[in-house]
Structure 1
Amino acid sequence: MASRRIDPNTIRLSDWPQLDERVLTGEARTTFGQRRNAIEAYAGGSSLAQVYETWGIHRSTIKRLVRRALSAHPDGRPWGYRALVPHVHVQPYERIKAPQALVNGQAGNAGAFGQLLQRHRSLAQQLREELVARKVILQPGEKGRLLGLKAAAHRFEQSCRELGLGAGDYPLNQKWKGFRSLASTLRGWLQDDFDLAARAAGHRIKPASALRQLPERGSADAFDTVEFDAHKMDVRLKVVDNDPLGGEQSYEIERVWLLAIIDVATRCVLGYTMSLQRECSRFDTIETFKRAVTPAKVPELTLPGLRLLSTGGFVSQALEQTRHACWRQIRLDNARAHLAATSLDVVCEALGCTADFGPAYQPDDRPFIERFFGTVASTLSRRLPGAIPGKDAAQVMLKRLRDPTDSLRLLVTSHELEELLHLTVWNYHGTPHSGLGGFTPLEMMRRHVLGIGREAIRLRLIPKPLREHPELLHDPVLCRVHGNLGRGERPYITFYHVRYTSERLAKSSGLIGQRLRVHYDPSDLRRLWACTEDGHMLGDLFASGKWRDEPHSLQVRQQIFKAKRARELDFGPGDNPIEVFLTLRRKQAPKRRRAASDIAQVQRERQKAKPPPSVAENETVTPAQPPSPLAKGPVKGKALRITRGYTR
């Protein structure tokens, strides 16, 4: 059969992969050199006759070598100069003859297993699923050993019987039922596919963005792209509680989380939150968003020896232009707290930015926030007395907890850790950063905002209602208005087992039976903010009883009523539920770190609490308002007059 004609103009030697001919020796090196020179002369314009006269290679051999070089290599590139090496097989071996039965031997059936997989595609898919599902495991090592081959071979044999293959068909007519060919096929697939081999070995694979050295993960402008994540700090903390008798008791709390948002272009930390919960929730995520878009204040440090750098500071405190500024894009992982509908509504609707969700447990996809967490770990948490370094942190913690001589007096409290965290972030903004060319993060932010050495950026601010009422970041809850005109019961709503009302709501009897859109701050439930479904503002609603005076979060209230349902505590209308809850947790704290975390949470909320809503409301009362109708001082009893016809 006549060979196909090849146009020399279509041969692009610059695209051919090169070969180091120094690895070849003897006759193979000489043959390769003749073939290379002949191909280059033919591609340069020489005729086949001239090539034959000069290099002694026939025209049919030239055409065959060119076709071999232009064929596709398994790595995705053409074979190129690699196809000119003598005795190199460009195409894999394909068996044509039917396999023969070999009961006592193994020779004579080369390629029979591949022929079987080509004939039955379902068998090839089954073998690949064995690796993907990690039924066949690659044992770590230089070469690796496959575990679970016998069970995989048994399942493969059963599948062959289900396809109708009998005792006279391959591989059932072999002594080992094709076991060796199956093992070599699986190993060949693992050698050709790194992702599949890493999955079979159970190791984490770096994403493609990490292999490309993350060129597209950066950002040119400030407040364009930010990264958000949560980090569990490996440190032991304690809570110091004052019991009713005046003594101090120290208990070890459970764990602490650090949630932060960092600007990619300037490496400035826009907002951060410390959480004492067992796992981060959507409320912690939204609280971090709220702190990132609200102005920050200079931290008040009470620990001796702490000093704030003059070059440091918070972004919104150092640059007034950035107050209430928001970003364009935020990068998060696939944690459940980030994927919650409430978190997505805040990110996409309230703040008006886009969300870029990357894979969970992949630090290379969000390198800047992970690098900041590494800085916090090396400069803060690992230097504390209660640090838990190394990979065996959990074992070290259990060992220390079981040690009766282990003392808690050297551990820091959650309040002290929060002050140290404020100091760390403040000084981090004033420390030269190697990724910014020696500039500090705050200096780089000034250059972007003020236009020093570049064009100034345009900041996008959040709407004015969000600035005045940050609780609008949380999705509203629909609550029905209760009340009864016949019994003289004024309108009120119930929110998480507690009644709320206000002077305006108490007078709006027409709202009984309707639903209100209630916005709340999970960190302080003493006050709610409500409006009707039509959008009419009702203002603030205040909790009833002791719930209005004691600062408490949604988490604490949930824990209180959870313990009440479990009949662990009980309180009446005149009792302080927070104090009753603390009494219960003080009894459980010596044996349960979870109880100690609840005590630390209550202390933290009391330290950060604003004045009670009733006090703040009285301070805003103007003289034009009518005085309170409640009587003051001793009240004299008045005799009741009962008319005739009254029966008991």
Structure 2
Amino acid sequence: MTDQADFSLEAWPTPDVGSLSTDVQADYFRRKRAVELCIEGASDATIKRKCGIGLKQATRLIKERCMAPSPDGLIFGFRGLVKHQRIAAPVRKKTVVLDQFGYGGTGAMGALLLGDPEFRKKLDSRILRVHKDTLLAEGKRHRGALWGWFLDELRARGYELRNEWPFNSVSLGYHALRNYTDALLKSKPTVLAHTVGGKDAVRKLRAGDGVNRPNLALFQRVEMDAHKLDGRFCVLMPAPGGGWVPRIIHRLWVIVIVEVVSRAVLGYHLSIRKEVNKEDVLRTIKCALTNWQPLEVSYCDKPLVEGAGLPPILGKDFIGICWKETSVDGALAETCKTVKDKLANVVGAELLSPENSFSVRRSLDDRPYIESFFRTLGDRALQRLSNTTGSKSTDPKKINPTGVALESQFQYEYLIELLQSLICNYNAAKHGALGYRSPLQMIKYYFEQGMLPERRADPELVQSLLSYRKLCLVHGGAAEGRAPFVNFDHGRYGGPAIADREDLVGTKVWMTNHIEDDARVARCTTINGQLVGVLRVAPPWDKLPHTISIRRSIKSFQNIKKIESLNNDAIRTFMKFVEAQKNNTLPVHPTYLEVRRILSQQAESFEGDSAAARALESLKGMAPVPSREEKHPESASNSNESKIRKIGKDAGKRALPTKRLAKD
């Protein structure tokens, strides 16, 4: 080693001399000087005169102590010169002979394994064995089982007949085996973590502790993830005999985008599907890039504290701020090509997933800020309610969440209002890690310092985030005796814009669902990008607003013969089908909840439109509408609301909590 060209004592690790006692320090400096003189080629007499030890002793210190491998992966270096520092485990050379008191067995375990390498290999393999997750095996191995195997193996090898250790000891080698097992597992941290905490502990060990995280600028990185809410909720559905019946719904998801530096929630979306898909992720991104207006809340007069909201509440300068990196956990809905392309083209952000970055699938330490937010959302909010499912199946907070949701009629529409209050108030709450500033105050502080990013998302591109396009063939024409039309996702589209375009028959065109939550119309363009016009869908899809995903779901019901005919109005037929189901124990289908959301939104946003009027009428056939004479005395729909309340009263049902579904 010392003959190598790049050998240098300056590269040797050194101990913390200040932590040593005076005597140990003096002995260390003598040994160190002796090693340096030995390397320089000094004589034995010179080394002995200056350091008190000879050349032979200095050479032994270098070979046996300084050049020995250290547990940290380096050599001991000068650290091996510290007095009483154990470099290697002791090796017993004499035969184990215990006295009458049981003493004299020091190093017996090491001597046994050193003399029988084959047995040592079998023992190490058994201790370090890790089963696959798909195999049936003992999760946490008991020390007694290993000890029993240990004795059986040695007994088969004749140790008991020869009365050799451990059969001549009182403990039969139990303590020695335990110490050896602990030392071996400590040398294999991954196996030890799997033995103690399973695969989650292994992921946490591999993920790191965040010490070397980079110093990021504001809006340089955001974290996005989905969280299943810890609560049960219901929806009110019309009963055949009149009134309303609460029906339980499956557990819902919330998708959130958190900015890393300020800890602010930029956008969120409540998904009513059983599993999150790419559409939910895109809605969350759109929420983070558009202006925010608070929803009207029915459960209290002041749901938001002063200054609460999403970042756009601070002013126009905070609308559509783009970020550079989006950290996700690798879920398919977040890493699909559509989401990746939208982030790159609209936001200009790179997607950080387990395939191209440091992040690990389902590791809490790789997205600490959003996981901390979800923990806060559960511990300080939803888990405090009696309809909570708890954080796990054995959580004592979980009593009877389904029964509570049905009895209290905690509707998911109320959850939308509650989530707004929780998230917006979180943005206005002071954080100790931010110098007791709130996330919104932190963003405003960076803005005042001129450190807010200048890039803003194009509003037109943001509005097109949820658009869907497909290459379709133009059918019909004079040869078939009918106007040209296009089949686009189970719908037949036509209209004046394409009625006279015989030149397009037999060619392919791009069909784009360009209006969010309304697939009744679609934009048609040629392959060369020339606009043909806006086409309308034919019955039975032309009555009420819906999305492409809703249409696909309803069509799947018809394909498996659950719905025989869609009649003249597919949406209304599907709603009646779901409401007529007799099995009230199963959760309501998520497509039904999505239809309710769109109809409510259309009735609120496009009041006066004929389609909106039909949506409002559909809503009134689905759920009770609260009275608003105090807020809107001039409303023309008060008489209709009275009729609805009268129906519920005549049906003999107890009064239900008012539910706001649409502005009238």
Shorter-chain TM-score: which interval?
A: 0.7 to 0.9
Q: 1:553 aligns with which of 537, 547, 551?
A: 547
1:192 aligned partner, one-letter code: S
Kindly indicate whether the alpha-carbon contact (under 8 Å) linking 1:589 and 1:595 is maintained by their aligned counterparts in 2.
Answer: no
What is the percent sequence identity of the aligned residues?
Answer: 21
Give a deviation string over 1:502-535, Cα, whole Å, max 9, x none.
Answer: 4212332222222222333674322333322211
SS in 2 for 1:486: helix
SS in 1 for 2:297: coil
Q: Indicate the larger mover: 236-245 or 253-262.
A: 236-245
Kindly indicate whether the alpha-carbon contact (under 8 Å) linking 2:37 and 2:47 is maintained by their aligned counterparts in 1.
Answer: no
Q: 2:453 aligns with which of 454, 458, 466?
A: 458
Residue 147 of structure 1 deviates from its aligned partner by: 6.9
Residue 236 of structure 1 deviates from its aligned partner by: 0.8
How many angstroms apart in 2 are the aligned matches of 1:494 and 1:293? Answer: 33
Report the equivalent of 2:393.
392
How many angstroms apart in 1 are the aligned matches of 2:533 and 2:120? Answer: 72
Output the TM-score relative to the length of structure 1: 0.74
How many angstroms apart in 1 are the aligned matches of 2:150 and 2:331? Answer: 35
Change (3 A) 1:133 1:390: closer
Kindly indicate whether the alpha-carbon contact (under 8 Å) linking 2:224 and 2:258 is maintained by their aligned counterparts in 1.
Answer: yes
How many angstroms apart in 2 are the aligned matches of 1:132 and 1:195? Answer: 13
Change (3 A) 1:188 1:13: closer
Written as runs of structure 1 = structure 2, the 5 A alignment for 1:214-613 is: 214-216=211-213, 219-221=216-218, 223-243=219-239, 246-357=242-353, 358-392=359-393, 408-449=406-447, 452=448, 454-463=449-458, 465-467=460-462, 469-472=464-467, 474=468, 476-520=469-513, 523-574=517-568, 576-588=569-581, 590-595=583-588, 597-609=590-602, 610-611=605-606
Q: Does 1:199 align with 2:198?
A: no
Output the TM-score relative to the length of structure 2: 0.73
Q: Indicate the larger mover: 454-463 or 361-370.
A: 454-463
Kindly indicate whether the alpha-carbon contact (under 8 Å) linking 2:113 and 2:119 is maintained by their aligned counterparts in 1.
Answer: no
How many angstroms apart in 2 are the aligned matches of 1:92 and 1:544? Answer: 87
Give a deviation string over 1:582-617, Cα, whole Å, max 9, x none.
Answer: 222223374343325444332222111254998589
Kindly indicate whether the alpha-carbon contact (under 8 Å) linking 1:239 and 1:599 is maintained by their aligned counterparts in 2.
Answer: no
Change (3 A) 1:399 1:455: closer
Kindly indicate whether the alpha-carbon contact (under 8 Å) linking 1:207 and 1:365 is maintained by their aligned counterparts in 2.
Answer: no
Q: Does 1:74 align with 2:71?
A: yes
Unaligned runs of 5+ in 1: 23-28, 96-104, 158-170, 618-648
Residue 366 of structure 1 deviates from its aligned partner by: 0.4
How many angstroms apart in 1 are the aligned matches of 2:211 and 2:279? Answer: 31
How many angstroms apart in 2 are the aligned matches of 1:153 and 1:341? Answer: 58
How many angstroms apart in 1 are the aligned matches of 2:146 and 2:487? Answer: 59
2:71 aligned partner, one-letter code: P
Give the alignment's Cα RMSD to 1 decimal: 4.5
How many angstroms apart in 2 are the aligned matches of 1:148 and 1:554? Answer: 60
Kindly indicate whether the alpha-carbon contact (under 8 Å) linking 2:289 and 2:320 is maintained by their aligned counterparts in 1.
Answer: yes
Give a deviation string over 1:467-519, Cα, whole Å, max 9, x none.
Answer: 453434x5x32222221322332222222212122421233222222222233
SS in 2 for 1:408: helix
1:111 aligned partner, one-letter code: L
Residue 363 of structure 1 deviates from its aligned partner by: 1.4
How many angstroms apart in 1 are the aligned matches of 2:476 and 2:3? Answer: 93
SS in 2 for 1:547: coil
Change (3 A) 1:538 1:398: farther
Report the equivalent of 2:625.
none
Residue 39 of structure 1 deviates from its aligned partner by: 1.6
Q: Indicate the larger mover: 62-71 or 275-284.
A: 62-71
Give a deviation string over 1:197-240, Cα, whole Å, max 9, x none.
Answer: 2234424235468644344255222x221110000001010101
Kindly indicate whether the alpha-carbon contact (under 8 Å) linking 1:8 and 1:43 is maintained by their aligned counterparts in 2.
Answer: no
Q: Does 1:213 align with 2:214?
A: no
SS in 2 for 1:292: helix
SS in 2 for 1:442: helix
Unaligned runs of 5+ in 2: 94-107, 160-172, 354-358, 613-664
Residue 365 of structure 1 deviates from its aligned partner by: 0.5
Change (3 A) 1:528 1:189: farther
How many angstroms apart in 2 are the aligned matches of 1:91 and 1:7? Answer: 30
Q: Indicate the larger mover: 74-83 or 202-211.
A: 202-211
Residue 151 of structure 1 deviates from its aligned partner by: 11
Residue 124 of structure 1 deviates from its aligned partner by: 12
Residue 420 of structure 1 deviates from its aligned partner by: 1.3
How many angstroms apart in 2 are the aligned matches of 1:50 and 1:448? Answer: 67
Change (3 A) 1:447 1:56: closer
Change (3 A) 1:328 1:8: closer
Q: 2:52 aligns with which of 34, 50, 56?
A: 56
Count of aligned pairs between the two proteins: 567
Report the equivalent of 2:114.
111
Change (3 A) 1:198 1:616: same
Kindly indicate whether the alpha-carbon contact (under 8 Å) linking 1:479 and 1:493 is maintained by their aligned counterparts in 2.
Answer: yes
